[in-house]
Amino acid sequence: MKTIIFLNNKGGVGKTASVTTIAHMLAERYGKRVLLIDLDPQMNATCMFSEIDFVKLFAKVYHGESGCEEGKSVEDLLLDRNLDIHKCIKKTKYPNLDIICSYLTLSEAEERMKGDVKSPQQFRLKKHLKNVQNEYDYCIIDSSPSVSIVNINGLAAADQVYLPLRCDGGSLLGIAITMNLVHTVQEYNPDLQIGGMFFTQWNGRKNVAKTVYELLADAFGEYILPVNVGTSKNIEEGSLLQEPLLAYDNGKHPCTVTREYLEITEYIMEH
Ligand SMILES: Nc1ncnc2c1ncn2[C@@H]1O[C@H](COP(=O)(O)OP(=O)(O)OP(=O)(O)O)[C@@H](O)[C@H]1O
Ligand SMILES: [Mg+2]
């Protein structure tokens, strides 16, 4: 099993859009056995693939209820060293794609993790993933926009990190912060490689795109992927209807962004 995390400290750069699209493509288009792990308390990837009714969840949270469903989540996994990871894995409606969900309370669990000083904080996920090494081809991890012990667990467990970004100053700064974090984690996870960086909602005709691209290329040219992802309303519509891009697109007449994500998925499989 190859473990890949998508990370950028800046919010809204397309981490979840990339994770949900690519994990689903690996499973449905390329027949890979995929375990998706949601490390973000925002639950965006969880909503895409679990049976949670997004509209009901919205109403529950609005009325101050917990939003938690039955069953174990990634929070239980991070807090309990002895838990069997299989108890946290849920099937999705896509046969090759399983998920470990997150819940809104994951950020509170983070404080409890920090309080437990008996075992190394950053290797909890890695230790659990050893028990499913032979059951999946890929483990794809979605992360939150933060430098947190939860994200550090994701990095410590990963073989590769991909960094999506948008064409703005905040995304560039996010890349710099994330790269610093990656280099720190590489000190104790030497297997961690930088898979690459790619732009989302890319529009090469804008002057700002050229400027940001040049700045990124000066600092990290060797990591920039040969393909970027444009803008598609299908991604936003699909997230509301809980359908990943390829399924929403129906595969028959793939939109440009679907084709670009297929290229990135193939790049990931080849590298
Ligand atoms: N290629 C795209 N075309 C159009 N909309 C997109 C595209 N990629 C992402 N979006 C939209 O941009 C918003 C942010 O994307 P996304 O949630 O994937 O970012 P994120 O990095 O996961 O954010 P966060 O850091 O908050 O988790 C979402 O509304 C998503 O639907
Ligand atoms: Mg996200």
pLDDT recorded at residue 13 = 98
- Pocket of ligand 1 contains residue 232 by CB under 6 Å: yes
User: What 3-state class would DSSP assign to 164?
Assistant: strand
pLDDT recorded at residue 115 = 82
Buried b (16+ CB within 10 A) or exposed e, 38-47: bbbbbbbbbb
Say how many C-beta atoms besides its own lie within 10 A of residue 250's C-beta.
Answer: 10
User: What 3-state class would DSSP assign to 97?
Assistant: strand
Q: Which amino acid is at 52?
A: I
Alpha-carbon distance of 81 to 8, in angstroms, equals 27
pTM above 0.75, yes or no: yes
Say how many C-beta atoms besides its own lie within 10 A of residue 246's C-beta.
Answer: 24
Q: Which amino acid is at 156?
A: A
- Pocket of ligand 1 contains residue 13 by CB under 6 Å: yes
Question: Mutation test of ligand 1: which of 8, 10, 13, 16 has the most ligand atoms closer than 8 Å to its C-beta?
Answer: 16
pLDDT recorded at residue 120 = 80
State the ligand closest to the CA atom of 12: 1
| Chain-centre distance for alpha carbon 257 | 18
- Pocket of ligand 1 contains residue 3 by CB under 6 Å: no
Give me the residues paired with residue 4 across strands. 140, 160
User: Taking a C-beta distance cutoff of 8 angstroms, is the pair 229, 200 a contact?
Assistant: yes
- Over its C-alpha atoms, the chain yields an Rg (Å, rounded) of 18
The atom of ligand 1 lying closest to the CA of 233 is 4
Q: Whose CA is nearest to atom 11 of ligand 1?
A: 236
**DSSP 8-state assignment for residue 123:** G
- Work out whether strand 97-100 and strand 89-91 pair parallel, antiparallel, or are unpaired: antiparallel
pLDDT recorded at residue 252 = 66
Q: Whose CA is nearest to atom 31 of ligand 1?
A: 236
pLDDT recorded at residue 118 = 76
Q: pLDDT 10s per residue in the chain (271 long)? A: 999 999 999 999 999 999 999 999 999 999 999 999 999 999 999 999 987 777 777 777 777 665 556 678 999 999 999 999 999 999 999 999 999 999 888 888 888 888 877 778 899 999 999 999 999 999 999 999 999 999 999 999 999 999 999 999 999 999 999 999 999 999 999 999 999 999 999 998 999 999 999 999 999 999 999 999 999 999 999 998 999 999 998 766 789 999 999 999 999 999 9
pLDDT recorded at residue 251 = 63
DSSP letter for each residue of 133-162: TTT-SEEEEE--SS--HHHHHHHHH-SEEE
pLDDT recorded at residue 249 = 86
State the ligand closest to the CA atom of 14: 1
The full set of domain ranges for the chain reads 2-270
pLDDT recorded at residue 105 = 86
229, 155, 151, 74 alpha-carbon torsion, rounded to 10°: 100
The atom of ligand 1 lying closest to the CA of 19 is 18
CATH C-level class of 2-270? alpha beta
Q: Whose CA is nearest to atom 6 of ligand 1?
A: 235
pLDDT recorded at residue 250 = 79
pLDDT recorded at residue 158 = 98
Q: Which amino acid is at 141?
A: I
